[in-house]
Structure 1
Amino acid sequence: MGKLVLLHKADSIYEDELDVVYDFPRPYLKAMQAAVGDWIVYYEPVKAGPRGYFAVAKIDRVIPNPKVEGRFLALIAPDSFLDFDRAVPRLLDGRPLESALAGPDGRPKSGGATQLAVRRLPEAEFARIVDLGLPQDLEHLEETRYGAPETGPGLEDAAAAFARPVLERLTRRPYRDVAFRRKVREAYDYRCAMSGLRLRNGGGRPEVQAAHIQPVERQGSDWVRNGLALSGTLHWMFDRGLVSIAEDGETILVSRNKVPGDVVARLIRPEGRLIRPADPRNRPHPDKLRWHRENVFGQVLAAGPAPWD
């Protein structure tokens, strides 16, 4: 096994769906096969945008691309993709975070390895990049972000969380939930995407929740593009198939035979259109929305009394 950096452009012509598959040509096959079962870091090249290193995932297996001769697909392990809380810059104090991109004086090289779409990444450099993008104390930062913890003592073992190894953090569900919630709520500016409301409680904490479009337990991921910022009631309705999003990525669909008209009028914006993140790279992915329409919308019965009963 071996860790890698994979280049990705938002407007890539390849069949990349970052939490599902990465498309690459034959010259990188050996390196990708060696990385099966190990972690990779996604990187945005300089000409594509400002993000630098922006996410991690694990390669599950590599297969030939059935549509294109000479190309291959790295399939991403379910429940492994995770956006960085903050993008990690290419350079730190003027020096590359990857030793392969630095010259003898530690300054950035030009050409050569910097042009490779797949680069090997030593363990120590992987850990350093992840620590910068996903801080060890992220859970504690979120608990204390708005003053006192929301649930009293909160993380009683907060100090211990600071020392969690990188791989433990990447696979630990409570940590991943916090990272996903922070990324999704920030992408929507802490506003409910369906009601348009931006509510905060008395302590200043945002009331909006982060909803998975395709649930993790049904092979969904913690990608920001698999998330929606929703109020508690609309989150409940979305998970139970009472509302969804149309193929245009904006029109809010409502199961009219299950949701009273007056409830729709109170909860959903009058124009019936989704508020989407300002950054197109954070907007709901069409494949995720299609999955929800085909597998959840109109098919899941509401369990227990509805919030408006």
Structure 2
Amino acid sequence: MAKAVFTTKVSPVYDDLPEHRYHFPKTYLNQVEKAVGDWIVYYEPRRSTGDLSSTGGRQAYFATARVDRIIPDPVRSDHYYAEVSNFLPFTRPVPFREGGHTYESMLAKPDGSTNKGAFGRAVRNISDREYDLIWRSGFGHVIGLDERPRPAPDAPEEPWKPTSLVAEERAPFRFDIPEEQDRRIVEQLVSRPFRDRAFAAAVKDAYHDTCAMTGLKIINGGGRSEVQAAHIRPIEHRGPDSVRNGIALSGTVHWMFDRGLLSIDDDYAMLVARDRLPDTATRLLNADGKLRLPGRADLLPHPKFLEYHRREIFKG
């Protein structure tokens, strides 16, 4: 087994749904086969679509997942799907190079320039050490290596720019990770408490700590957000820990959403179960009946998860 990087665009050319599958041509079959049973990181390139002139991609690693198996594409004979599980977004996107360090050694030439030939490969195998560095940088806030500063309730909102783990003075051992740590990392990645913390951090950040259905943003006296991260397709129904399967909701609204009293249409209009909620509850909701959503299209609730909630959870 070997870990790998899977490249996927904001608007993929292939039939990717990173939470569940990665679509790839036969060119990369050998690299993907090596990753079966092991962990990968997803990378978002600069190009956001198949158009060579497109831009807007973050040029960053943004999530991790485990490769379960490879199945042939039933329509295209020279293409395959890698089915994945345990998808988890990083709480901060990790640039491929930061602090003077390139996370994937194959992407750096001896003179410090970028190896564009290697970078052009959509699937790249990486070492355990390289994966661990990316993982630690992506989840630094969750594992206590990077604390997010919280403004005072009346302070103007500013974007958070977390310190890179690579440049973090508190981690002098960062380039000398013992092999046994890889096992501990895997144990955390499948741990429900860790995944809950990472999912909540990613969803709250995407929604700027604001309830999508009420517009309320409450920061307590300790500087912590009171908003909660809700799964659209529940985890007990095999829903992934993805921002696209999440929504930030206040406690009461989260309770109503989980019990099918509220749902969401494909145009992000709120749906209310008829005759099940009093007027005092519906008056909490945004007056225009629409969600308050993240600014990035790739963070919006995915239609597949919304459809599942309406079909299996909603009581309307």
Q: TM-score, normalised by structure 1?
A: 0.84
Q: Does 2:27 match 1:8?
A: no
Distance 2:58 2:148 in 1: 29
Measured on the aligned residues, the alpha-carbon RMSD in Å equals 2.4
> Which blocks of at least 5 consecutive residues in structure 1 are unaligned?
148-161, 300-309
Q: Does 2:252 match 1:247?
A: no
Q: Does 2:66 match 1:58?
A: yes
Q: Does 2:130 match 1:130?
A: no
Partner of 1:84 in structure 2?
90
Per the TM alignment, residue 144 of structure 1 is displaced from its structure 2 partner at its CA by: 9.7
Distance 2:99 2:259 in 1: 49
Partner of 2:250 in structure 1?
231
- State how 1:109-124 maps to structure 2 within 5 Å: 109-124=114-129
SS in 2 for 1:62: strand
> Which blocks of at least 5 consecutive residues in structure 2 are unaligned?
49-56, 153-180
Q: Sequence identity, in percent?
A: 44
SS in 1 for 2:208: coil
Per the TM alignment, residue 186 of structure 1 is displaced from its structure 2 partner at its CA by: 1.2
User: Do the aligned residues in 2 keep the contact of 1:136 with 1:164 (CA within 8 Å)?
Assistant: no
Per the TM alignment, residue 139 of structure 1 is displaced from its structure 2 partner at its CA by: 5.5
Distance 1:244 1:137 in 2: 29
Q: Which letter maps to 1:81? A: F
User: Do the aligned residues in 1 keep the contact of 2:140 with 2:146 (CA within 8 Å)?
Assistant: no
Q: Could you tell me which of 238, 253, 264 is aligned with 1:219?
A: 238
Q: Does 2:209 match 1:197?
A: no
Q: Which letter maps to 1:63? A: I
User: Do the aligned residues in 2 keep the contact of 1:138 with 1:178 (CA within 8 Å)?
Assistant: no
Change (3 A) 1:210 1:164: farther
Per the TM alignment, residue 221 of structure 1 is displaced from its structure 2 partner at its CA by: 1.2
SS in 2 for 1:40: strand
Distance 2:33 2:182 in 1: 31
Partner of 2:104 in structure 1?
98
Per the TM alignment, residue 91 of structure 1 is displaced from its structure 2 partner at its CA by: 1.1
Q: Which letter maps to 2:117? A: G
Distance 1:180 1:61 in 2: 24
User: Do the aligned residues in 2 keep the contact of 1:242 with 1:259 (CA within 8 Å)?
Assistant: yes
Change (3 A) 1:163 1:200: farther
Q: TM-score, normalised by structure 2?
A: 0.82
Distance 2:38 2:242 in 1: 18
Change (3 A) 1:136 1:205: closer
User: Do the aligned residues in 2 keep the contact of 1:96 with 1:108 (CA within 8 Å)?
Assistant: no
Q: Does 2:293 match 1:276?
A: yes
Change (3 A) 1:246 1:137: closer
SS in 2 for 1:289: helix
Q: Which letter maps to 1:296? A: I
Alignment length (residue pairs): 280
